[in-house]
Structure 1
Amino acid sequence: MIYLDYASTTPMSEKAIEAYTKTASLFFGNTNSLHDIGTGANDVLTLCRRQFAHFINGDEKGVYFTSGGSEANYLAIRSLIKGSDASNRHIITTQIEHSSILNLCGQLEEEGYTVTYLPVDKWGMISLSDLQKAVTSKTTLVSIQHANHEIGTIQPIQKIGRFLKEKNILFHCDCVQSFGKLPIDVQLYGVDSLSVSSHKIYGPKGVGAVYIHPSVSWNSVYRNANHQSGFRPGTIDVPGVASFITAAQEAYSRIEEQRELHEQLRTKWMTLMEPFKKFITIEGHPSQRLPSVIGMTIDKIQGQYVMLQCNRHQIAISTGSACHAGLQHPSKTMTAIGKSNDEAKQFIRISFGTNTSYNDLKHLYTVLRKVMEEFHCVTM
C-alpha cells in the first residue's frame, strides 16, 4: 500500500526498534530505584534528556517525558497555569490548534477562565496585531502551534515569543508537527514550554515530551507525584524514551535533506495538479509551510469519499487530523480559514515521509483523476 499519511503517524525506524529492544533488555530498571539496575536506567534517561535539550537548545533540567503529544500539551498548560498568579485567568490561543489544546481550553472556560481564540487568514496565519490587541492585564498564557497539522502553515513563533517576553506572558508552543522537520530553538523563539510526540518522527507510539524552561514557575497537576520532579507520576518507559531519542537523532541528522526532498515532491505534485486547478485548491500558506504537508479541497466532492476511493486503490491519505477521524463536524482549521461547512468537508490531506516517491504521487494523481471524472469535473 502507498502510505501518504505521515502527518498522522509514522512507522518506527529500524534503529528506533533496535534501541527499544536493547534498552528493554539491558536497562529495564525503575529509574527511581536506588540499586545499580535502577541507577543504570536513570543514567540512560539522563542522557536522553540531555540529547533532547540539545535538539531544542534548551536546558536538560526542563525536559519531562510523557505518553505523547496530547498529554504533553495538557500537562504543560495545566502545570504552567497552576504555577501562575491565580487572579490572572485569561488565556489566548488560535482557532486552528490541535484538538488536545482546544478541548483543554473548553475545560478551562468551564472552570472560569476566559479564552480568546485568535482568528487566522485564508492561509491559516495569525496576525501579530490581533495577538497584541487580545492581550490584557489578566493574560497569563498564550498557546500557539508552530506548524499546523492539517495545512502545514508555520506561525511567526519568534516574533510572537519576543512580544510575549516583553509582556511577561507565558508562551506554550505545540511543536508536534514541526519537531524533527524544522530547527527549533527555545532561546531564540522565547518559548517557555513546548510539546512534541515520538510517533511523528519514526519513534514509538505512547511517548512524547514537554520542555518547560527551568526559570519558569509551575505546579504539578498531580498530588504527591514522585517521578520526573513531580511533573508526572508513573514509572518512566525508558526503552520507549531511548527509542524516541534515537528516532529524533535520525530525524535531525537528515533534516535539510528531507526538507529538500519534500520541497521537490511538493513542486512535482503542484505540476500534476495544474490541469485541475479549477477544481482543486491547495490550502495553507504558499511559502511559510511544511513542504511535507499538503491540504487540499476538491470542489463538489467530499473528502471522505476521496479517501475511501484512494484506500480502495491501496493509497492511504486522510481527511485531516486523525484525532478527528470518524467525527461528523468539519475540520476547525478549514472553517477557521473561511470555508463553509460543506467546503470544509471537501478537504483531504496528503503528507510525505522518508519513503515517499514521485511514483507514489503519480498513482495518487491517477486515482484523483478518476474520481473527478466520475463527478464530471474533467474528461479524458
Structure 2
Amino acid sequence: MIYMDHAATTPPREEALQMYMEASKHFFGNSSSLHDAGSQANRLLENCRNQLGQLLLADKDGIYFTSGGSESNILALQSLIEANAHKGNHLITSSIEHSSILHFFARMEAFGYEVTYLPVDSHGLIDLEELKASIREETILASIQHGNGEIGTIQPINEIGNLLHSKGILFHSDCVQTFCKLPLTLADLPIDSISVSSHKVYGPKGVGAVYINPTVPYKALLPNTTHEKGFRPGTVNVPGIAAFVTAAELLQDEMPVNQERYKQLRSKFIELLSNMPVDVEIESSAVEQLPHIVGVRFPGVQGQYVMLECNRRGLAVSTGSACSSGQQDPSRTMQAIGRTDDQAIEFIRFSFGRETTDAEITEAAKILNALLADFFITQ
C-alpha cells in the first residue's frame, strides 16, 4: 500500500514506539500520586513539558497535555471564553476551520454568543480588512487556523494576531497541521493559545497539547479538577506524552530537509498530473501552502470514486470530507472557496510524509491515470 494520507494521520515512528514502551514499563505510576512511582512519572511528565516548551519557544507553564487536537481546541476556547465572558459575547472564526472548532462555535451560538464566520477567497485566505471590519466592542476572541488540512493554505497568523491584539482581542490558532512542519516560535508570535496533536507528527494517537500564554487568564472547564494544574480532568497519559514529545523533537530537527523534499515531491506530482490526458484542477496552488498537501479535482469524477478505486489499487488517499453509508457530503472548504456542490464532491487530497518516495509519487500518478482512463471509457 502506498500511503498518501499523512494529513489525516501519520504512522508512529520507531523512536516514539520505543519511548512509549520504555515509559510504560518504568514510569507507569500515576503522576499525581505521592509515592516514588508517582514522583518518577511526574518528573518525566515535567521534563516533557519543558522539552515541548523549548520546542515552541514558549513558557512551559502554559503547556497542558490533552487527548488530541480536537480536545485541545475545545478546552482552550471554552476556558478562554469563560474567563473573559464579562467583556462581551461576540466571537470570530473562519468558514474553513476544523470541524471541532466549527461545532464548538455552533454550540456557543446556542448559548447566546454571536459568532462571525469570516469568508475566504478562492485560495482559502481570509481578508484582513474583513477581519478588521468584523470586530466589535463586545468581541472577546477569534480562532483562525494556521494551516488548512484540506488544501494546505497558510494563514498570515502574525498579521492576524497583531490586528487582534491591537484591539484587545484574544487569538487562538489551530496549529495541528503546521506543528513541526512550519516554524512556530511562540515567543515571537502574537498568539494567546494554540493546539497541537501527536498523531500528526509520528507520535501515538490519543495525545495532544494546548499552549495558553500564562499571562492570559482562563477558567477551567470543570471546577476543582486537579490534573494538568486544573486544566483537564483525567489521569495523565505519561507514556503517550513522552512518545509524542520524542516524535515532535525528531520531526522538528528534520523540518528543513522534509520541507524541501515535500516541495520537490509536490512539483513532480503536479507535473505528472498535468501530463495526464484528462482535465485536472490543482486547488489553491497560487498561494503559500503546506507543501506536503495537494488538493485536486478531476472534473466530472467524484472524489469518493477516486478514493475507493485508489484504495482498491493499493493507494491510500482522502476525499477531505466525511463519508457515511456511501453518501459523500461536499467538502466544506471547497464550498467556502467558491466551488459548487458538484465541484466540491470531486475533491481528493494527497498528502506526503517523511517516508514518501519519488517512486511512490510516480506509481501514484500511474494508478490515477489508469483508473481515470477506465472511468472515462465506461462513460
| TM-score bucket of the superposed structures, by smaller chain | over 0.9
2:91 is matched with: 91
1:235 is matched with: 235
CA distance in structure 2 between the aligned counterparts of 1:87 and 1:163, rounded to whole angstroms:
18
What is the letter of the counterpart of residue 106 of structure 1?
Answer: A
Q: Residues 311-330 of structure 1 correspond to what in structure 2 (within 5 A)?
A: 311-321=311-321, 324-326=322-324, 328-330=328-330
What is the letter of the counterpart of residue 115 of structure 1?
Answer: V
Q: Residues 28-39 of structure 1 correspond to what in structure 2 (within 5 A)?
A: 28-39=28-39
Shift of 1:276: 3.9
CA distance in structure 1 between the aligned counterparts of 2:360 and 2:310, rounded to whole angstroms:
12
Change (3 A) 1:278 1:305: closer
Q: Does 1:296 align with 2:293?
A: no
- Contact residue 69 and residue 196 of structure 1 kept, 8 A: yes
What is the TM-score with the length of structure 2 in the denominator? 0.97
Task: Find the residue that maps to 1:65 and give its secondary structure.
Answer: strand
1:241-300 CA-partner distances (Å, limit 9, x unpaired): 000000001101100000011001011011112224961111124341100001111100
CA distance in structure 1 between the aligned counterparts of 2:295 and 2:277, rounded to whole angstroms:
14
Q: Does 1:47 align with 2:47?
A: yes
- Contact residue 323 and residue 329 of structure 2 kept, 8 A: no
CA distance in structure 1 between the aligned counterparts of 2:377 and 2:209, rounded to whole angstroms:
45
Shift of 1:59: 0.4
CA distance in structure 1 between the aligned counterparts of 2:337 and 2:331, rounded to whole angstroms:
10
Structure 1: any 5+ residue segments left out of the alignment?
Answer: none
2:166 is matched with: 166
- Contact residue 87 and residue 140 of structure 2 kept, 8 A: no
1:222-245 CA-partner distances (Å, limit 9, x unpaired): 121111111001110000000000
1:2-24 CA-partner distances (Å, limit 9, x unpaired): 10000000111000001001111
2:69 is matched with: 69
1:259 is matched with: 259
What is the letter of the counterpart of residue 361 of structure 1?
Answer: I
Shift of 1:328: 3.6
CA distance in structure 2 between the aligned counterparts of 1:277 and 1:244, rounded to whole angstroms:
43
Shift of 1:85: 3.3
Structure 2: any 5+ residue segments left out of the alignment?
Answer: none
CA distance in structure 1 between the aligned counterparts of 2:352 and 2:335, rounded to whole angstroms:
24
Runs (4+) of structure 1 exceeding 6 A deviation are none
What is the TM-score with the length of structure 1 in the denominator? 0.96
CA distance in structure 2 between the aligned counterparts of 1:174 and 1:87, rounded to whole angstroms:
23
* Equivalences, count: 376
CA distance in structure 1 between the aligned counterparts of 2:275 and 2:235, rounded to whole angstroms:
55
1:282 is matched with: 282
CA distance in structure 2 between the aligned counterparts of 1:200 and 1:339, rounded to whole angstroms:
28
1:126-167 CA-partner distances (Å, limit 9, x unpaired): 111110001101111000000000000000000011111111
Shift of 1:368: 1.5
What is the letter of the counterpart of residue 346 of structure 1?
Answer: E
1:372 is matched with: 372
CA distance in structure 2 between the aligned counterparts of 1:343 and 1:197, rounded to whole angstroms:
31
What is the letter of the counterpart of residue 255 of structure 1?
Answer: M
What is the letter of the counterpart of residue 172 of structure 2?
Answer: H
CA distance in structure 1 between the aligned counterparts of 2:178 and 2:184, rounded to whole angstroms:
8
What is the letter of the counterpart of residue 286 of structure 1?
Answer: A
CA distance in structure 2 between the aligned counterparts of 1:102 and 1:92, rounded to whole angstroms:
11
Task: Find the residue that maps to 2:376 and give its secondary structure.
Answer: coil
2:18 is matched with: 18
1:171-199 CA-partner distances (Å, limit 9, x unpaired): 00000000010110223221100000100
CA distance in structure 1 between the aligned counterparts of 2:250 and 2:224, rounded to whole angstroms:
36
What is the letter of the counterpart of residue 14 of structure 1?
Answer: E
The percentage of aligned residue pairs carrying the same residue is: 48
- Contact residue 124 and residue 285 of structure 1 kept, 8 A: no
2:7 is matched with: 7
1:102 is matched with: 102
Q: Residues 341-352 of structure 1 correspond to what in structure 2 (within 5 A)?
A: 341-352=341-352
Task: Find the residue that maps to 1:295 and give its secondary structure.
Answer: strand
What is the letter of the counterpart of residue 106 of structure 2?
Answer: G
2:305 is matched with: 305
Q: Does 1:118 align with 2:118?
A: yes
Shift of 1:377: 8.4
- Contact residue 148 and residue 154 of structure 2 kept, 8 A: yes
- Contact residue 192 and residue 216 of structure 2 kept, 8 A: yes
- Contact residue 304 and residue 328 of structure 2 kept, 8 A: no
CA distance in structure 2 between the aligned counterparts of 1:316 and 1:163, rounded to whole angstroms:
40
Change (3 A) 1:131 1:377: farther
CA distance in structure 1 between the aligned counterparts of 2:84 and 2:103, rounded to whole angstroms:
21
Change (3 A) 1:85 1:106: closer
Task: Find the residue that maps to 2:199 and give its secondary structure.
Answer: helix
Change (3 A) 1:93 1:356: same
